[in-house]
Structure 1
Amino acid sequence: MRRKAEGTLLMLSHQDNERLTRIGRGAPMGELFRLYWIPFYPAKDLTADGQPKRIKLLGEDLVVFRDSENRVGLIANACAHRGAPLMFGRNEACGIRCVYHGWKYDVTGAVTDMPAEPPASRLAARVRITAYPCRERNGVVWTYMGPDPLNPPPLPNMEWNLVPDENVVVTFRVQECNWLQALEGEIDSAHAPILHGRIDAKGAIADWIAAKDLKPMIQSIRQDFGVSIAARRQLGNDKLYWRVNQFLMPFYSLVPPQSKFPDLSGHAWVPMDDEHTLCLMFSYHPTEALSERTRAVFLDGHNGRESGHASRNAYAPKSPTTPYNDFWTKYNPESGFLFDYESQKALWFSGLPGLWVQDAACQSGLSPIYDRSTEHLCSSDAGIVMVRRLLLDSAADYNQRRAKPPGVDDPDVFIVRAVSLTLDEGIGWADAGDRVMRARPGSGFGYQL
């Protein structure tokens, strides 16, 4: 990233865009991601001795399954014998058995049976396929793909994955673009009242405080967990409205609550490969069960439109040979995200059917890896610039000096919240928000929404 002498923000160079978006093994960002635990599958969708599921994570072709003893295994899709796909394997008696020649693997990747080999063969003891440790917490399966699988760091203490089940909704979907394009959409406060707005001045969106000032002033600060990105809007009467989004290393975003929508939300933007992202969305309340109405909107949409979550009606499952086959949606570049020009003329500024669809269309409608060297950044992109710099610095620090970011080994670094604050002019948001931005599991917001 570079700046003109007068301070105008410049675009990413082609080289830096490549560094940030390429996530395979050996790539700087790929090696950085492998330091962290990665949330990657809903636990309820894996049944003991049930169908193995093909997935992709960080460019690797893998299969996830739950064995007869309820342990989750994440192993290479290719059988070590002759490369037959284990996604067709028989999940039985504590392992996956390849249907080609019957080689069987347990959750550690060890070969436990080779039916076509003679009894005296010692080949099974010498063969092992790639396997990654998995842990479950509050309905989500996590994996560690890092350099020391026998001694992984602790799971990160993120509030959305610690609250009671009735307080949270977590959904998964696939998006057809690289992880960074998806992430940057959610840490950009300037777009929300524009992209998600209506032209008929009806509905709850018209009452957003953010919609009353479309020219926010952005301030950002680096934190031990990542970056706090604050958008300041004028309220009048010497009052300022601050919405502070959070970027958490390496691929999380947190969105502030609003008075009419008093829940916290965000995403894990998990790279499947260079051009596809697993979007894990969470919405939760720190102290209260989500209402049935709120849960229904998240899971079923509202009046035929999508909320921030992919509804049950959004999915368009693919064949079992497709990674994450159950989590692809009908809103994609091929379908034009079901853009409706008549709706754009009469009701919705974007003409796109719901919140996450509007975001996804802008993030992935043009190209899975957009050439950021053609951008012309402006003042509202200051937070995005700081996040890019942090990522590039962190990747360089680790790949060149093996210096790990703070959150890798300290799980409590991530106990934070995004916040919405109304403050008098002259009061700094960082100082005023320091206490309430630190989450205290089981405690309320600590301020008036």
Structure 2
Amino acid sequence: MLRPEENDRLTRVGPGTPAGDMLRRYWQPVLLSQELPEADGAPLRVRVLGEDLIAFRDSNGDIGVVDAFCPHRRAPLFFGRNEECGLRCVYHGWKFDRHGDCVDMPSEPAGSPLQARVKLTAYPAIDKGGLIWTYMGPRESVPPAPDYEWLRAPATHRYVSKTYEDCNFLQALEGGLDTAHSSFAHNNDLGNRSMPRSRDTAPRLDVETTDYGYRYISTRKGDGREDYVRVYQYIMPAQQMRGSLIKIEGGKSNKPRFDGHIWVPIDDYSTHVYNMMYGYDENVPLEPDFVLDQESRAGRGPEHHIPGTFRLKQNASNDYLIDRQVQKTKTFTGIEGVNTQDYALQEGMGPITDRSKEFLGTSDKAIVTMRRLLMQAIDTVAEGGTPPGVDPLSHGRVRPHDGYVPAGREWRQHFETELIAKW
């Protein structure tokens, strides 16, 4: 459990908070690239880490992420004109480029020294891997651009999506790092004992810390001849990567891929979850029909969102459309969609869960380690240092993996080459 003051230290993310200062030292995804499809297109409202911002793609196609309000009289720049490599406030015509420099001040006399003094808060931004990323920390500490393996995968082998979650980022992240719950919350076929998570509901967990976070290993007993081993990667501050084996004849997958999530705080009480999937076999691209099928199975396909938003139709207002008869006879939760099952439980804890009331067990080893690493990173930043995982060299060559290992065989030897990035 955590003391209330420790819980606050980990979950409050606004400007000047300990966790907020730490999270601002990393590049954070803030939009899907497709949300800003064209140069000089409409600007978008963005809220991240408790700050209200505006994102736009300028005439050159470069991304601007700036304060949502004009520094003149605080008029909303959402209504601004995106024109000729700048965003012009429609109140008095002041115009700012993506760096936050005032490039035109038509309501003031020509040559006014005010123009040189006025600055709009602006953050560095890049468009990479289907996402728009921004860095909100000190300018003297801007790290190299993110370089995860899935960002290097060809567009034909990569897919990203986005969902809104109505709770603090930490309990959402903890759900992603908790492997034991899949035996229960995600048991969608009560009568099927063939799946590893159905046969072994208490997996053995090992956590190995690294200079980017950790990798954690879930081993479930199999049929006596082999065990199922899943090696996850936790990349600080809030990314998880995992293998997604579909075993068919011959012991291999016909859709070789990895997937995972990045949890980005909107503010203290809400989160955007960026979901990624990428194929690791250069000869097997991710077909659109397969991707849509996987997203629909998770409960976050296009048909599951409230039109025009990233919010799910199944939500707290309708109890996630739980079907108690299905819960009695077919699935453990009675809620359709793996993603939706997670949200029902994580959002149901409240906006920020009270961790002082927890009773943790052996299955929570990965969560306990993650909290400790985040607390250490917060202390490091407070003391003027650099938190782990900022440099992409620390994690650019890692990948997750899962598969079946002969019973009694050391998984490290069996997976020796599989945990090294190939893209």
Give the counterpart letter for 1:243 in structure 2.
R
CA contact (8 A) 1:176 1:332 kept: no
The runs of 5 or more residues in structure 1 that have no matched partner are 1-10, 319-325, 442-449
Q: What is the RMSD computed on CA atoms of the aligned residues? A: 2.0
Secondary structure of 2:108's partner?
coil
CA contact (8 A) 1:58 1:273 kept: yes
- Quote the offset at 1:426 in angstroms: 4.5
Give the counterpart letter for 1:212 in structure 2.
R
Secondary structure of 1:384's partner?
helix
Q: Does 1:255 align with 2:242?
A: yes
CA contact (8 A) 2:236 2:388 kept: no
Name the structure 2 match of 1:197. 187
Give aligned-pair identity as a percent. Answer: 38
Q: Does 1:374 align with 2:357?
A: yes
- Quote the offset at 1:317 in angstroms: 4.9
Say which of 208, 221, 235 aligns to 2:222.
Answer: 235
The TM-score, its normalising length taken from structure 2, stands at 0.92
Mapped to 1, the partners of 2:305 and 2:105 lie a distance apart of 39
- Quote the offset at 1:238 in angstroms: 5.4
Deviation by residue 1:376-425 (Cα, 9 ceiling, x = unmatched): 1111111111111111112112212x332342234352432222143345
Give the counterpart letter for 1:339 in structure 2.
I
Say which of 333, 345, 348 aligns to 1:350.
Answer: 333
Name the structure 2 match of 1:405. 387
Q: Does 1:135 align with 2:135?
A: no
Question: Per the alignment, do residues 274 and 366 of structure 1 end up closer, same or farther by CA in structure 2, a change over 3 Å counting?
Answer: same
- Quote the offset at 1:245 in angstroms: 1.9
- For 1:164-175, list aligned pairs within 5 A: 164-175=154-165
Give the counterpart letter for 1:362 in structure 2.
L
CA contact (8 A) 1:254 1:418 kept: yes
- Quote the offset at 1:111 in angstroms: 1.3
- How many correspondences in the alignment? 413
Q: Does 1:439 align with 2:393?
A: no
Say which of 15, 29, 38 aligns to 1:39.
Answer: 29
- For 1:12-411, list aligned pairs within 5 A: 12-46=2-36, 47-148=38-139, 152-201=142-191, 207-237=194-224, 239-260=226-247, 262-287=256-281, 288-298=284-294, 301=296, 306-307=297-298, 310-317=300-307, 326-400=309-383, 402-411=384-393
Mapped to 2, the partners of 1:405 and 1:120 lie a distance apart of 44
Secondary structure of 1:331's partner?
coil
Deviation by residue 1:301-347 (Cα, 9 ceiling, x = unmatched): 2xxxx426x211222257xxxxxxx3233233223222232332332
Deviates further, 43-52 or 354-363: 43-52
Secondary structure of 1:83's partner?
coil
CA contact (8 A) 1:49 1:67 kept: yes
Question: Per the alignment, do residues 148 and 120 of structure 1 end up closer, same or farther by CA in structure 2, a change over 3 Å counting?
Answer: closer
Secondary structure of 2:277's partner?
strand
Deviation by residue 1:90-148 (Cα, 9 ceiling, x = unmatched): 21222112222222111111112222212242211110111011111232211111212
- Quote the offset at 1:430 in angstroms: 4.5
The TM-score, its normalising length taken from structure 1, stands at 0.87
Question: Per the alignment, do residues 92 and 298 of structure 1 end up closer, same or farther by CA in structure 2, a change over 3 Å counting?
Answer: farther
Deviation beyond 4 Å, 4+ runs, structure 1 = none
Give the counterpart letter for 1:437 in structure 2.
L
Say which of 411, 416, 419 aligns to 1:429.
Answer: 411
- Quote the offset at 1:254 in angstroms: 1.1
- Quote the offset at 1:434 in angstroms: 4.7
CA contact (8 A) 2:148 2:392 kept: no
